Amino acid sequence: MPSLRQQGEAAFECMQYFIEYFGSSVEAEKHRLRLEKYKRDLHSLQKERKNLQAVWSPEGKLITIPAS
Protein backbone atom coordinates (compact mmCIF):
# COMPACT_ATOMS: atom_id res chain seq x y z
CA MET A 1 0.00 0.00 0.00
CA PRO A 2 1.53 3.36 -0.99
CA SER A 3 2.37 6.00 1.57
CA LEU A 4 1.98 9.54 0.18
CA ARG A 5 3.31 12.41 2.25
CA GLN A 6 2.74 16.06 1.34
CA GLN A 7 5.03 18.93 2.35
CA GLY A 8 4.10 22.27 0.82
CA GLU A 9 4.11 21.82 -2.93
CA ALA A 10 6.14 18.62 -2.84
CA ALA A 11 4.94 15.07 -2.33
CA PHE A 12 6.83 11.88 -1.64
CA GLU A 13 5.32 8.49 -2.45
CA CYS A 14 6.73 5.38 -0.88
CA MET A 15 5.92 1.99 -2.39
CA GLN A 16 7.27 -1.34 -1.13
CA TYR A 17 10.18 -1.47 -3.60
CA PHE A 18 10.64 2.08 -4.86
CA ILE A 19 10.18 5.70 -3.84
CA GLU A 20 9.14 8.73 -5.90
CA TYR A 21 9.48 12.46 -5.26
CA PHE A 22 7.01 14.84 -6.90
CA GLY A 23 6.76 18.57 -7.34
CA SER A 24 3.38 20.07 -8.09
CA SER A 25 1.70 23.07 -9.60
CA VAL A 26 -1.03 25.13 -7.95
CA GLU A 27 -3.52 22.47 -9.09
CA ALA A 28 -1.65 19.71 -7.27
CA GLU A 29 -4.17 16.94 -7.84
CA LYS A 30 -4.21 17.46 -11.62
CA HIS A 31 -0.54 18.20 -12.33
CA ARG A 32 2.13 16.26 -10.48
CA LEU A 33 5.61 16.24 -11.93
CA ARG A 34 7.86 13.34 -10.93
CA LEU A 35 11.24 14.82 -10.04
CA GLU A 36 12.96 11.64 -8.92
CA LYS A 37 12.38 7.88 -8.73
CA TYR A 38 14.60 5.47 -6.84
CA LYS A 39 14.14 1.72 -7.26
CA ARG A 40 15.92 -0.43 -4.71
CA ASP A 41 18.13 -3.28 -5.87
CA LEU A 42 17.67 -6.94 -4.93
CA HIS A 43 20.55 -6.92 -2.43
CA SER A 44 19.03 -3.98 -0.54
CA LEU A 45 15.62 -5.66 -0.43
CA GLN A 46 17.08 -8.94 0.86
CA LYS A 47 19.14 -7.17 3.52
CA GLU A 48 16.71 -4.47 4.74
CA ARG A 49 13.31 -5.74 3.47
CA LYS A 50 10.58 -3.62 1.91
CA ASN A 51 9.84 0.07 2.53
CA LEU A 52 7.14 0.82 5.11
CA GLN A 53 6.41 4.55 4.78
CA ALA A 54 7.89 7.96 4.06
CA VAL A 55 8.32 10.37 6.97
CA TRP A 56 9.16 14.08 6.57
CA SER A 57 11.37 15.68 9.21
CA PRO A 58 9.67 18.48 11.21
CA GLU A 59 11.51 21.21 9.27
CA GLY A 60 10.57 19.55 5.95
CA LYS A 61 14.15 19.14 4.70
CA LEU A 62 14.75 15.42 5.19
CA ILE A 63 12.78 12.28 4.44
CA THR A 64 13.32 8.96 6.18
CA ILE A 65 12.04 5.61 4.96
CA PRO A 66 11.86 2.87 7.57
CA ALA A 67 12.07 -0.68 6.24
CA SER A 68 10.57 -3.84 7.69
Structurally, how many domains does the chain consist of?
A: 1
Tell me what pLDDT residue 1 has. Answer: 46
Tell me what pLDDT residue 45 has. Answer: 87
Q: What is the mean pLDDT of each run of 10 residues along the chain (68 residues)?
A: 61 79 63 80 89 79 78
Give residue 24's domain range.
3-64
Tell me what pLDDT residue 63 has. Answer: 77
**Assessment of whether the complete model's pTM goes beyond 0.85:** no
Task: Concatenate the DSSP letters of all residues of the chain into one string.
Answer: --EEEEETTEEEEE-SSEEEEEEE-SSTTT-EEEEEEEE--HHHHHHH--B---EE-TTSS-EE--B-
Tell me what pLDDT residue 30 has. Answer: 60
